[in-house]
Chain A
Amino acid sequence: MSWLQILFYLVVLVVLAKPLGGFMARIYEGEMPACARWLAPLERAIYRFCGLRADQEQGWKSYAGAMLAFNLLGLLAVYALQRLQGFLPLNPAHMAAVSPDSSFNTAVSFATNTNWQGYGGETTMSHLTQMLGLSVQNFVSAASGMAVLVALARGFTRKSSSTIGSFWVDLVRSTVYILLPLSIVLALVLVSQGVVQNFAAPVVAHTLQGAEQSISMGPAASQIAIKQLGTNGGGFFNVNSAHPLENPTAFSNLLEMLSILLISAGLCFTFGRLVKDKRQGLALLASMLIVLAPCIVMVQLFEQAGTHAQQLAGVELSAAADQPGGNMEGKELRLGIANSAIWSVATTAASNGSVNAMHDSFTPLGGLWPMWLIQLGEVIFGGVGSGLYGLLLFAIVAVFVAGLMVGRTPEYLGKKIGAFEMQWASFAILAPCVAVLFGTAVAVLLDAGRAGVANPGAHGFSEILYAFSSAGNNNGSAFAGLSANTPFFNIALGFAMLVGRYLVMLPVLAIAGALAAKKLVPAGPGTLPTHGLLFVLLLVSTVLLVGALTFIPALALGPIVEQLQMLH
């Protein structure tokens, strides 16, 4: 059954992603499909309100400037909302102002599409902060990522052009035509499954033991829809989608799992259509699936196999009708191992970070895959837009080495890859690695960093490494166990998130600008084909090799040694 569920999930994902990808391509090319035309007045109204012109193109510097300014504005707004929430309406639980460092962390986290949460949502944020701050950022940070991807795609298709589109138009279209309608539909379906959506104060319940329990309420469904679709991952409730009011049924679980990867998968098809060669998009999607599917299988295998201690104790670990078997610590009994395995891999492959099980409680080798997927740089599906442009950076590097190997100046999609592109692609691949390794090193050196560790030994190291991997690659999922809501972690992780987001986005836009200005080289027999299996394998190897070579020493001191210790 587990394997069937996994296969079913992957098939449904691809089947849904294809039409969505085609739809998105048409949106970005400016030819509105009939089903989206009713939203056009909204788009026009936004342009009128902001005094924008839809046909005004930008060069890469101007595009990047607009993107940065807009993101900075969002960051400041979220910071202000948290600091001032005590004086603002829609605060039935009378939440006080959030601390400066936590506000900084959260503001950065939501602006960078990381959605790392150092705080407990229902016990920290007012409804206004959640809706006006976090939910809005969930939309626009996702839309920013999609915009940058589309700009890069234009870099590949345009010939001797000085512009790469308009950030404002890409941002508005991503939000109005794609994210908004999809999340409204998803939110309504989730409400039908029992996810709460209200503005009520907490409900007080009396348990059978007579204890008093306060059950938080709020506009959860709307935020969950976009947190999944926009690869945000910041849950409404602290335990995220393990909470029954956030993820009540098996169907809601399936929908939420699909929506984690839906747009990222769809964007592969979009890219193929934008560069006028659908096979290129398929090759990128295939590269992602080749890494994703085995990871799900590995987590499923290791979690079902249980821990060494369980095996020694002779516990029955196989799944049966009346028991899930395997390692169920930290997993929801309603959902079981397969659904936790798919979710954990999908959420870390995409830079989503929402969880329906606690990765900290996975077996060491089960938990290794989610962490490793994050460390691969969030390019296997990755964040909406950001995942694909990240993978394209790797494609540039792969094409460069491969191009040399066939004796030709390397080119990708008809654009010659020169020193400028290599410089910025290397820089963008390097930046998150620096954030992760340097951040972890600082944390284990300082008392402030070591103090947050809950578990002794190698596991404690894994917790810190995971936190910085998650922040530096804008994932946002947590390994749990680490007390990260301290000034040190809030600030250090905040900077890691900034590096991991903008020091990738800016090089990508620079590359887009440089590519757009180049001529298009027609393909010939001497051109390396970039749509076949060979290239897919080469691209995957490049991603894996860079990821592995960078993080093997650190991983060896964390999860690998942990697993070995458990065996001894």
Chain B
Amino acid sequence: MYKKNLFDPAITRRAVRDSFRKLDPRLQIRNPVMFVVWVCAVFTSALALQALLGHGEAPFGFILAVSLWLWITLLFANFAEALAEGRGKAQAESLRKTRRDVQAKRLLNAKDRTRHESVSAPSLRKGEVVLVEAGDVVPCDGEVLEGVASVDESAITGESAPVIRESGGDRSAVTGGTRVLSDWLVVRVAANPGEAFLDRMIALVEGSKRQKTPNEIALGILLAALTIVFLLATATLLPFSAFAVHASGQGQTVTVTVLVALLVCLIPTTIGGLLSAIGIAGMDRMIQANVIANSGRAVEAAGDVDVLLLDKTGTITLGNRQAVEFLAAPGVTPEELADAAQLSSLADETPEGRSIVVLAKERHGLRERRIQEIGAVFVPFTAQTRMSGVDFEGRQIRKGADDAIAAWIASRRGSLAPEVRAQVERIARGGGTPLLVAEGDRVLGVIHLKDVVKGGIRERFGELRRMGIRTIMITGDNSLTAASIAAEAGVDDFLAQATPEAKLALIREHQSQGHLVAMAGDGTNDAPALAQADVAVAMNSGTQAAKEAGNLIDLDSNPTKLIEIVEIGKQMLMTRGSLTTFSIANDVAKYFAIIPAAFALTYPELKSLDVMHLATPASAILSAVIFNALIIVFLIPLALRGVAYRPIGAAALLRRNLLVYGLGGLVVPFAGIKLIDLALSSLGLA
């Protein structure tokens, strides 16, 4: 739709405001890790106040600094979330603009479109019928009952070319907020107020209805468990330290401030603070890819898909057969055949017919002629003759399926040459469609019509294969044709002569083997299969039934969009996993910084664990806390953009990410803490 700069000034300003608003404990408690930080911040603030009054356990300045940085940690985490939400909110606002207070023309009687009353759009209920005329904004999601009109859907899809909406068939769905440009439509309301497509989209981008996905919940549990472990490890240090003081006869018990600092450094605040931002940003990326997800769950499931069902027509092939070859009969020159083929197709407006004219021009330099100018009479295709052609200067040229032409020339006492028959068989075996061209009682030759596979599709399937996804082509063709196209397009398998029942059975079969199946579809007859598939992408151009059955809607109506959806789903998981690893690996360095500092007075010997040679105990602890806060800010761009996905296989991907985020997570804080310590001590702050 539109891409935005990561730190758009307006959004950033609002995010800063929101990060203070989000300090509300009622909001914080939703995130257990950050709630612990919140409690710690409140607690150290109280300790600082106590120190100010002269009863402090440590110098006022130190406690205050720790406390301030804990608040800053919270603000940074809030900022990340607010920034992710802000990007969505900006989008939602532009969507809301399309939804001015629209007046709808409600029909008093569904059969009679002349009598209607004016009501406001939000008062429309499901099942009511409205009239939308040229220039009107469609007041609701609905299904066209009557009429044909061109509709501008740019408000939803960002695509400026108008689309045709008509009753019946696969183009009968209209979306609220779009505008009818010409003609009129009678539409049955398909959604109650607040449930419409636009409402869903706004709720989604605002993140207000965001439910946690299964993996997010599981990760939340792991993070909570880690938090408890560290809570325990630090809380028990108080008695341990008291015992150590008692045993060694020197120093003093570790202060609560230091323990709180240690706790906040150890619990996974990095991932805890960025977790919801990652989820929101994932949905945001979906919307930028022009895909509307019903739930985050669907996006996540997309990352797990390992079987992908694709319709042949429109997805794998260009949608129509095209002429690729003229095969002349014995005794006929190729030019003669091309000329006849062109003449027979001049008035044929089907894509197949057009492709014959184009091929004749490309191969034999035959310019297109106007059928009226040369005085030819067009013989249109009928279901009875199953042929079309021209009558021209006494010549009768016909083209059609082999049996139809054979019958035609037989009626004129002509016969089919064995060479032609062989050609016909060869083409059919290869998955193509043979068309015979005849003049009078003579067969001139064969036109080879073929499904043309889209450019670049083979590479995309290769990419999917490397991602671990098997592609299965679905087609109504016979298995011979299907096999040849499947081989050409590079899909892994195909389902020929597919009926809706066969599609459903295929999905169920794969699911019973434990596979997760994705499918793209647009027609009403796709709806059962879409409902059964784990990830179902409905085309926005499709029927209302298909859109209701799908859990993702592609506004561009581009079936290969699934590849992008899968990538976004994977990216979301990868970002969470990588930041979790990073967060936990960070703890090692923090131990090395804080443990020697915390027990500097009781056990000065522990100083030899301080491999970073930090200036003072206070500076060591403060540096760790500051690092812990700053790292959240540094990782916000990564959280919002996501960790890049590469289709290189699971093991290679894991090795890569472990190296970057695991090893990086071990090393980076050593350098970071040391740098902050140097800065603090050079500024004379600690």
A positions within 8 Å CB-CB of B:
397, 400-410, 414, 417-419, 421-423, 426-427, 429-430, 433-434, 437-438, 440-442, 444-445, 450, 456-458, 460-461, 519-522, 524-529, 532, 534, 538, 541, 545-546, 548-554, 556-557, 560-561, 564-565, 567-568
Say which one of B14-22, B520-528, B580-588 lies at the interface with A.
B580-588
Could you tell me the distance in whole angstroms from the C-beta of A307 to the nearest C-beta in chain B? 16
Interchain CB contact under 8 A, A458 and B606: no
Interchain CB contact under 8 A, A414 and B580: no
Given contacts A408-B573, A556-B595, 5 further A-B contacts (CB under 8 A): A409-B303, A410-B215, A426-B222, A553-B262, A554-B233
Interchain CB contact under 8 A, B570 and A407: yes
Could you tell me the distance in whole angstroms from the C-beta of A430 to the nearest C-beta in chain B? 6
Interchain CB contact under 8 A, B233 and A526: no
A440 and B242 alpha carbons, distance in the complex (Å): 13
Interchain CB contact under 8 A, B217 and A527: no
* B116 on interface, CB distance cutoff 8 Å: no
A427 and B584 alpha carbons, distance in the complex (Å): 18
A519 and B512 alpha carbons, distance in the complex (Å): 8
Interchain CB contact under 8 A, A525 and B649: yes
Q: Which of B470, B577, B595, B661 is within 8 Å of A552, CB to CB?
A: B595
Q: Which among B576, B585, B591, B654 has the highest number of chain A CB atoms within 10 Å?
A: B654
Could you tell me the distance in whole angstroms from the C-beta of A399 to the nearest C-beta in chain B? 11
Interchain CB contact under 8 A, B218 and A433: no
Interchain CB contact under 8 A, B236 and A437: yes
Say which one of B67-75, B151-159, B461-469 lies at the interface with A.
B461-469
Provided the pairs A406-B653, A406-B657, A407-B645 are in contact, do residues A554 and B240 lie with their beta carbons within 8 angstroms? yes
* B53 on interface, CB distance cutoff 8 Å: no
Could you tell me the distance in whole angstroms from the C-beta of A277 to the nearest C-beta in chain B? 16
Q: Which of B242, B243, B599, B645 is within 8 Å of A556, CB to CB?
A: B599
Q: Which of B244, B266, B578 is within 8 Å of A405, CB to CB?
A: B578
Within 8 A of A (CB), among B447-492: 465-470
Provided the pairs A404-B219, A407-B569, A409-B215 are in contact, do residues A450 and B243 lie with their beta carbons within 8 angstroms? yes
Residues of A within 8 A of B470 (CB): 524
Residues of A within 8 A of B587 (CB): 549
Residues of B within 8 A of A565 (CB): 603, 605
Q: Which among A417, A427, A444, A568 has the highest number of chain B CB atoms within 10 Å?
A: A444
Q: Of all chain B residues, which has the CB nearest A568?
A: B605
Interchain CB contact under 8 A, A427 and B569: no
A460 and B244 alpha carbons, distance in the complex (Å): 9
A54 and B645 alpha carbons, distance in the complex (Å): 51
Provided the pairs A527-B468, A528-B651, A560-B606 are in contact, do residues A405 and B570 lie with their beta carbons within 8 angstroms? no
Q: Of all chain B residues, which has the CB nearest A430?
A: B225
* B496 on interface, CB distance cutoff 8 Å: no
Could you tell me the distance in whole angstroms from the C-beta of A146 to the nearest C-beta in chain B? 27
Binary contact readout B624-657 vs A (1 if CB under 8 angstroms, 0 otherwise):
0000000000000000000001000111011101
* B269 on interface, CB distance cutoff 8 Å: no
Residues of B within 8 A of A556 (CB): 595, 599, 606, 609
Interchain CB contact under 8 A, B654 and A406: yes
Interchain CB contact under 8 A, A560 and B609: yes
10 closest A-B pairs by beta carbon, nearest first, are A526-B468, A404-B577, A407-B570, A426-B225, A405-B577, A564-B605, A444-B243, A525-B468, A441-B236, A419-B218
A408 and B242 alpha carbons, distance in the complex (Å): 47
* B228 on interface, CB distance cutoff 8 Å: yes
A383 and B115 alpha carbons, distance in the complex (Å): 84
Residues of A within 8 A of B469 (CB): 526
Q: Which of B306, B580, B585, B608 is within 8 Å of A404, CB to CB?
A: B580
A397 and B306 alpha carbons, distance in the complex (Å): 23
Within 8 A of A (CB), among B535-583: 569-574, 576-578, 580-581
Interchain CB contact under 8 A, A444 and B240: yes
Interchain CB contact under 8 A, B244 and A557: yes
Q: Which among A445, A461, A521, A553 has the highest number of chain B CB atoms within 10 Å?
A: A553
Within 8 A of A (CB), among B37-64: none
* B300 on interface, CB distance cutoff 8 Å: yes
* B658 on interface, CB distance cutoff 8 Å: yes
Q: Of all chain B residues, which has the CB nearest A437?
A: B236
Interchain CB contact under 8 A, A407 and B221: no
Enumerate 25 A-B pairs (CB-CB under 8 Å) in ascending A order. Answer: A400-B219, A401-B580, A404-B578, A406-B574, A407-B572, A409-B303, A409-B573, A418-B214, A422-B219, A430-B229, A461-B243, A461-B244, A461-B247, A534-B654, A534-B658, A548-B588, A549-B229, A553-B237, A553-B240, A553-B591, A553-B595, A557-B599, A561-B244, A564-B606, A565-B603
Q: Which of B240, B243, B571 is within 8 Å of A407, CB to CB?
A: B571
Provided the pairs A418-B218, A450-B243, A553-B233 are in contact, do residues A407 and B580 lie with their beta carbons within 8 angstroms? no
A458 and B243 alpha carbons, distance in the complex (Å): 9
B positions within 8 Å CB-CB of A:
214-215, 217-219, 221-222, 224-225, 228-230, 232-244, 247-248, 262, 266, 300-301, 303-304, 306, 465-470, 512-515, 569-574, 576-578, 580-581, 584-585, 587-588, 591, 595, 599, 603, 605-606, 608-609, 645, 649-651, 653-655, 657-658, 661-662
Determine the main DSSP class of A at the interface with B.
helix
Interchain CB contact under 8 A, A519 and B514: yes
Could you tell me the distance in whole angstroms from the C-beta of B162 to the nearest C-beta in chain A? 38
Residues of A within 8 A of B650 (CB): 406, 408, 525-529
Interchain CB contact under 8 A, B239 and A561: no
Interchain CB contact under 8 A, B242 and A444: yes
A430 and B227 alpha carbons, distance in the complex (Å): 11
Residues of A within 8 A of B572 (CB): 407
Interchain CB contact under 8 A, B654 and A405: yes
Residues of B within 8 A of A522 (CB): 513-515
Interchain CB contact under 8 A, A437 and B232: yes
Q: Which of B228, B262, B570 is within 8 Å of A430, CB to CB?
A: B228
A421 and B247 alpha carbons, distance in the complex (Å): 43
Interchain CB contact under 8 A, B236 and A458: no
Interchain CB contact under 8 A, A561 and B236: no
Q: Of all chain A residues, which has the CB nearest B240?
A: A557
Interchain CB contact under 8 A, B240 and A419: no
A450 and B657 alpha carbons, distance in the complex (Å): 47
Residues of B within 8 A of A549 (CB): 229-230, 233, 266, 584, 587-588, 591
Q: Of all chain B residues, which has the CB nearest A427?
A: B225
A427 and B225 alpha carbons, distance in the complex (Å): 7
Q: Which of A414, A433, A458, A538 is within 8 Å of B244, CB to CB?
A: A458
Interchain CB contact under 8 A, B232 and A433: yes
A550 and B215 alpha carbons, distance in the complex (Å): 25
Residues of B within 8 A of A553 (CB): 233-234, 236-237, 240, 262, 591, 595
Interchain CB contact under 8 A, B574 and A551: no
Q: Which of A405, A534, A550, A561 is within 8 Å of B581, CB to CB?
A: A405
Q: Of all chain A residues, which has the CB nearest B511?
A: A519
Interchain CB contact under 8 A, A561 and B466: no
A541 and B654 alpha carbons, distance in the complex (Å): 14
Q: Which of A403, A461, A548 is within 8 Å of B577, CB to CB?
A: A403
Interchain CB contact under 8 A, A404 and B574: yes
Residues of B within 8 A of A445 (CB): 239, 242-243
Could you tell me the distance in whole angstroms from the C-beta of B386 to the nearest C-beta in chain A? 46
Q: Of all chain B residues, which has the CB nearest A405?
A: B577
A418 and B215 alpha carbons, distance in the complex (Å): 7
Could you tell me the distance in whole angstroms from the C-beta of A406 to the nearest C-beta in chain B? 4
A375 and B580 alpha carbons, distance in the complex (Å): 23
Interchain CB contact under 8 A, B306 and A524: yes
A391 and B606 alpha carbons, distance in the complex (Å): 32
A546 and B588 alpha carbons, distance in the complex (Å): 11
Interchain CB contact under 8 A, A437 and B654: no
Interchain CB contact under 8 A, B215 and A404: yes
Q: Of all chain A residues, which has the CB nearest B243?
A: A444
